[in-house]
Structure 1
């Protein structure tokens, strides 16, 4: 059988990026630090209690007078289900999966070095977007579900400049590397075996963007941060194959098991954040954030083939969304700090839901602490429970209902030199 040597797209990612987005709206990741997790990431662009602040505001590097490093590891344990909602028990059971999203570890690392009393530089390695979902091979709606995985790593060098005692600015470059894997099965009720591969795609690629930030230090107890991270067009290239025979008039994209090349551009949204930190007395501080994410850039996933054009187009129709959070920190003594926070996260798919992205609004409740081992080193831990709302939707004429909760734990080590 002749192999068509055309970059037939990541049909892929197209068929959909799903829902390991139980941690943040869409498929956004906010797990940049254990300290932030414990306060539901309230005040992240302003607090600057360790080097992880770089992930939210490069201007905050100006607050460090010695080299600082931080390394964090978060583990996300999701509890996500998708169930049939047709009213027919046998159909609803066939469409039900109570374990849609597997657990995942999310690492992050940061380095900040002051150059003098004005300039500082640093680099962060973290992820802003990612997901993983896994439906059984014999799932009834296999062509809509299957296995989906997206992993991204943001390499983010930054510089900051202190204008005066109160104002600082910062900027950086984002080099985002991503890998994607998508497997779609035939499902039941068709002419092919349910566990056969309707579409399989694996690929990787790079995208580039930028970020800026500002810091206003009213005094040592009150400060405000603002930051913006640009959108990134992540360009994937990879391998695609399908067990569908070539030449079928009603499905011209089968390859008969042969592998061909593919490409797809995934539009990752821009992010804007405003944060505040107010230490009310020696023992207590409050902090808060408003985060806006420009999800309207993610309207569709369009897989293309040279000479053929679009081979698969899936409408996502995301809308811009916001996240608001509020938290408090208790400074118990020189060795211990306790923190807590809560957040509301608005879904970007509130007007257009799919089984691949069964996203709903959610609430976050976080607690955590810092233990100072010495003047140079400290350990942070954080724990968050995410409570998602249940939502119903229709796709391809089939009724579904979905809900996503999650438990997230993180640990972090900070050191200054």
Structure 2
């Protein structure tokens, strides 16, 4: 993915710094793999997948207006997921996926001089990683050969990053645990084929982001802090189509909308998310009876994401992500 993130600081704010952070988005390459097998049965199938579930990378520089909140952040969430599905009847199928995740967090910010020795801002670094388990369950019901509905539930991830907290030039270093919750989600989808060429897709969903009310940081000295996030639940709406151009080519496109999870007084620069609008388009080509190649183009508009902090404020003039992907589907 290629994020474009540029903040416009309110110059009248008491803490404006020497700039607005410039182009803060960091490019993030990714890859995924999946394998499925019908197990020689017309009812059972199993598979395994590996890939990224979430991630973020931002670098605002050391002296921008929001430096006491964030100067640099990198968040990675990967999952290895075995799965199994069962066809209960000719119309109803269910599936479950176990997810073993790995996540890492690196966060840097500046500390006011009153907290450290020396005339310059202190430098704070918080890092850590964690592994754990989550799950995904789903079901599909086929009303007819043309119409089917599906529902999925993705469990939340309660991630506890074990790592270090360092503050310079004060020379402070301590072991730390940082707790962050990734929201549980529900998606319900409808697919309907209008004819042999054109199919329509609709999805609605709910994300339980109110679970991320605080980010908890504890260090081995016994001290700790709750960093307020105060996120709210969000709702997801999407529509798209699939069009069979000919025997070899399929085209697809869609748009999705997610509501705003947080107001401007609680929004922070490490997660500058507003309402989100996503656009995507793609194509698939059947190279043979067993091999299909394809690609997608995606664009995400993350909104202006206004921030009204205690000593600084502003909004994002650019807050978007471009991504490009290619895939191959090989039937053995």
Change (3 A) 1:189 1:134: farther
Q: Deviations over 1:393-412 (max 9, x none)?
A: 31123122124122211111
Change (3 A) 1:281 1:261: same
Q: Indicate the residue corresponding to 1:340 in structure 2.
A: 253
Q: Indicate the residue corresponding to 1:329 in structure 2.
A: 242
In the alignment, the residues of structure 1 paired with residue 56 and residue 246 of structure 2 have an alpha-carbon distance, to the nearest angstrom, of 39
Q: Indicate the residue corresponding to 2:50 in structure 1.
A: 125
**TM-score of the aligned structures, taking structure 2 as reference length:** 0.91
User: Do 2:17 and 2:63's aligned partners in 1 also have CA atoms closer than 8 Å?
Assistant: no
Matches within 5 A, 1:60-71: none
In the alignment, the residues of structure 2 paired with residue 305 and residue 84 of structure 1 have an alpha-carbon distance, to the nearest angstrom, of 33
Q: Indicate the residue corresponding to 1:4 in structure 2.
A: none
Tell me the secondary structure at the aligned position of residue 31 of structure 2: strand
Q: Indicate the residue corresponding to 1:301 in structure 2.
A: 215
How far did 1:186 drift?
4.3
Q: Indicate the residue corresponding to 2:143 in structure 1.
A: 218
Change (3 A) 1:354 1:118: same
Match status 1:392 vs 2:302:
no
Could you say which structure has the higher strand fraction? 2
TM superposition outliers: structure 1 runs of 4+ over 6 Å: 187-191
Task: Find 1:173's aligned residue among 98, 102, 119.
Answer: 98
Change (3 A) 1:407 1:193: farther
**TM-score of the aligned structures, taking structure 1 as reference length:** 0.74
How many corresponding residue pairs?
A: 328
Match status 1:409 vs 2:324:
yes
Change (3 A) 1:192 1:324: farther
In the alignment, the residues of structure 1 paired with residue 243 and residue 321 of structure 2 have an alpha-carbon distance, to the nearest angstrom, of 26
How far did 1:218 drift?
2.0
How far did 1:92 drift?
5.1
User: Do 1:113 and 1:121's aligned partners in 2 also have CA atoms closer than 8 Å?
Assistant: yes
How far did 1:133 drift?
0.9
Q: Indicate the residue corresponding to 2:127 in structure 1.
A: 202
Change (3 A) 1:192 1:366: farther
User: Do 1:84 and 1:93's aligned partners in 2 also have CA atoms closer than 8 Å?
Assistant: no
Q: Indicate the residue corresponding to 2:9 in structure 1.
A: 84
User: Do 2:183 and 2:207's aligned partners in 1 also have CA atoms closer than 8 Å?
Assistant: yes
Change (3 A) 1:168 1:96: same
User: Do 1:139 and 1:187's aligned partners in 2 also have CA atoms closer than 8 Å?
Assistant: no
In the alignment, the residues of structure 1 paired with residue 252 and residue 140 of structure 2 have an alpha-carbon distance, to the nearest angstrom, of 22
In the alignment, the residues of structure 2 paired with residue 143 and residue 342 of structure 1 have an alpha-carbon distance, to the nearest angstrom, of 36
Identify which range, 363-372 or 389-398, moves more after superposition: 389-398
Structure with more relative contact order (C-alpha pairs < 8 Å, separation 6 or more)? 1
Could you say which structure has the higher helix fraction? 1
Tell me the secondary structure at the aligned position of residue 37 of structure 2: strand
Q: Gaps (5+ residues) in structure 1? A: 1-75, 246-255
Q: Indicate the residue corresponding to 1:141 in structure 2.
A: 66
Q: Indicate the residue corresponding to 1:114 in structure 2.
A: 38
In the alignment, the residues of structure 1 paired with residue 207 and residue 78 of structure 2 have an alpha-carbon distance, to the nearest angstrom, of 19
Tell me the secondary structure at the aligned position of residue 128 of structure 1: strand
